[in-house]
């Protein structure tokens, strides 16, 4: 199974929350084939924006969104 990871971030309304100030300005760093590559991309993005306390970057584990053992995911059932 591929373990894809999405790295993204943006400016938060408050540094103590995870609510983005403007979702149209979310920075999609990329999708990576493993956690190590995603972590390195996350770290680089976070270091570029270290002077802005409201900027946060995240790693989303895309492989956890879909369970290949199930006959259909909940999103497939919507369509």
Query: Which residue in this structure is represented by tokens 């497939």?
Result: 76
Contact 45, 7 (CB under 8 A): yes
* Residue 74, pLDDT above cutoff 80: no
Whether the per-residue pLDDT at 29 is higher than 70: the answer is yes
CA 12 to chain centre: 14
Q: What is the length of the chain?
A: 79
Predicted local confidence at residue 79, as pLDDT: 47
Q: Which residues, in sequence order, are CB contacts of 71 under 8 Å at separation 6+?
A: none
Q: In the 8-state DSSP scheme, what is residue 34?
A: S
Question: What pTM did the predictor assign?
Answer: 0.78
Q: Identify whether the C-beta of residue 49 lies closer than 8 Å to the C-beta of residue 55.
A: yes
């Amino acid at each position: 199974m591929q373990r894809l990871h999405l790295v993204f971030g943006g400016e938060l309304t408050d540094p103590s929350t995870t609510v983005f100030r403007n979702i149209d300005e979310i920075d999609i760093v990329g999708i990576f084939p493993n956690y190590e590559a995603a972590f390195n991309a996350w770290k680089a993005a976070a270091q570029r924006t270290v002077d802005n306390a409201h900027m946060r970057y995240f790693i989303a584990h895309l492989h956890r969104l879909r369970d290949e053992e199930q006959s259909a995911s909940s999103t497939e059932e919507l369509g």
